[in-house]
Amino acid sequence: MKGMIALLALLAAACATPGPSATAQKVVEGDPAVLNRDCKLLGTVNGRSMLGGSDEARLAAAVNDARERAAALGATHIVFLQTDNKGILGSGNASGRAYRCGKPAGS
C-alpha cells in the first residue's frame, strides 16, 4: 500500500507544470515591428509540453519550454508565432522567434 501511495505521489509530481527558470522569466514578449527593427533575430524556438493536464496547463508548459529555449540562445524577447494543443495526443506546442535587444553586459 505504501508503495502505491508513493507511486501516485511521484506521478502527480511528474504531471505538475513547472514554472520557467529565472533566466527564462526575463525573456519577455515584444512587438514584432519594434523587435525586427531594433533587435537581433537569434532564431526560431519550439516548445512542447508533456501529456496530461488541462489544455491551459499544456499550453503554459509549451510556452515555458519555448522561453527556456529562447533564454538558452541569449534572447531578451520572444514573439510567439503559434500556440496550440494539436500535437500528437493533444500535447501543447508553442513556436516563436527569439531576439536579443540592447547591448550585451560589459559593452
pLDDT digits (tens, 9 = 90+) for 29-75: 999 999 999 999 999 999 999 767 888 889 999 999 999 999 999 99
> What single letter denotes the amino acid at residue 105?
A
Grid cell of 78 as nine digits: 520572444
Distances (CA, A) of 47 to 61, 76, 77, 78: 8, 17, 15, 12
Residue 76, Cβ neighbours under 10 Å: how many?
Answer: 19
Please give the model's pTM, rounded to 2 decimal places.
0.76
How does the average pLDDT of the chain come out, rounded?
81
The alpha carbons of the chain give a radius of gyration, in whole angstroms, of 17
Distance of CA 36 to the CA centre of its chain: 21
